C-alpha cells in the first residue's frame, strides 16, 4: 500500500462529506451547486488515488477513464442546474 493513496483517498472522503453537507444545509442555490461540484471532486479524487501505484509504476487507467466520464457528467449537470436557476430568477409568473 502507498501512503499517497491514503492521503488523497481520505482527503477525497472529507471533500465528499463537506460538499454533501453544505449541499443540504445551504439556502443559496448557487452555493448548493458549488457544493455538489466539490463533493463530486472529492469522490473523483478518491477514485484516482486508487489508481495511483507509485512514481515509477504506471497507474491503473480504468479509474482515470471513469473520472474523465464523471467530469463531463458533472459539467453537464452543472450547466443544466445553472440554466434552471437562471430561468428561476427570470420567471415572473405568479
Q: Of the candidates 27, 21, 19, which has an alpha carbon nearest to the alpha carbon of residue 74?
A: 19
| Shortest spacing between CB 31 and another protein, in angstroms | 6
Radius of gyration of the chain (CA): 17
Q: How many residues of this chain bind another protein (CB under 8 A)?
A: 90
Phi and psi based region of residue 54 (left: phi greater than 0; alpha: psi -120 to 50; beta: remaining): left
| Shortest spacing between CB 18 and another protein, in angstroms | 6
Contacts (CB under 8 A) with another protein, residues 27-66: 27-43, 45-53, 55, 58-66
| Shortest spacing between CB 79 and another protein, in angstroms | 3
Amino acid at each position: 500500500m502507498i501512503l499517497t493513496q491514503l492521503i488523497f483517498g481520505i482527503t477525497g472522503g472529507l471533500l465528499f462529506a463537506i460538499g454533501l453537507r453544505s449541499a443540504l444545509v445551504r439556502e443559496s442555490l448557487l452555493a448548493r451547486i458549488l457544493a455538489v461540484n466539490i463533493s463530486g471532486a472529492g469522490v473523483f479524487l478518491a477514485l484516482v488515488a486508487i489508481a495511483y501505484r507509485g512514481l515509477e509504476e504506471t497507474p491503473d487507467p480504468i479509474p482515470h477513464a471513469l473520472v474523465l466520464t464523471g467530469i463531463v457528467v458533472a459539467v453537464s449537470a452543472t450547466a443544466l442546474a445553472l440554466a434552471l436557476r437562471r430561468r428561476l430568477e427570470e420567471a415572473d409568473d405568479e
